[in-house]
Amino acid sequence: MGISGLIQGLMSDPLSTLLYLLISFLAMCISISFHEWAHAFTAYKLGDPTAKNLGRMTLDPFAHLDLMGAIMFVLFGFGWARPVVVNSRNLKHFRRDDVLISLAGPFMNLLLAFVFTGIYYFVQIDGGWLRLILIYLISMNLHFAVFNLIPIYPLDGYHVLTSIFIKNNYKVIQFMQRYGSIILIALIVTGATDAIIGWASDRILSLFLAFFGLFG
């Protein structure tokens, strides 16, 4: 049974709805905490202790949560956290290090999704709520990884795009910084992000399942 079927069956009364929201919030906290920790940890290893000094190199979700981003995450499966601050003056190779720091968060979400998919595949879980928790952990980590890789300001994909491809084209950078958030909101409202995230997440999950299928 897919996630929509589980939700329909489990949200048949107010208590079930509350439990569903709590599960969604739990999955969000795990996804965000590891994502932001990975950014901060990578920056620290590359010579910038700014995020660590600000208390962001932690798995405590409340050090990372953004209220609106958390609401979006719980209700729609993707959102955002408070950005990790990076001081470029502490990085020896800014463009390379900026790419590594930016990719660290989505990579961590993909790694978590991979691990939880393995647990879901190999561990036989009969309880509907336990299955739902795993499904949401997989789904939210995949969605958060793909969403943040969209190359639009202020997402991680924007930093990768500008550091590798755009470099010194300041007009493009200024345009993206000025209008990127508006473009992103427009994509969300029109459902374009749903299509992108759904398509990419399904294919990544298929790869994970195909990999685990080699052993089971």
- Containing 3, the helix (H) or strand (E) segment is helix 3-10
Residue 65, beta-bridge partner list: 81
- The residue among 207, 47, 214 whose CA lies nearest residue 113 is 207
- Please check whether residue 107 is in contact with residue 38, taking contact to mean a CB–CB distance below 8 angstroms: yes
Q: How many CB atoms lie within 10 A of CB 158?
A: 22
CA dist 167 → 3, 104, 157, 159, 178 (Å): 41, 20, 14, 10, 17
The tokens of 125 are what? 């879980």
Cα dihedral 162→67→88→183 (10° resolution): 20
The C-alpha atoms of residue 77 and residue 64 are separated, in whole angstroms, by 17
Task: Judge whether 36 counts as a catalytic residue.
Answer: yes
The C-alpha atoms of residue 178 and residue 176 are separated, in whole angstroms, by 5
Catalytic residue among 36, 48, 98, 156: 36
- Active site residues per annotation: 36
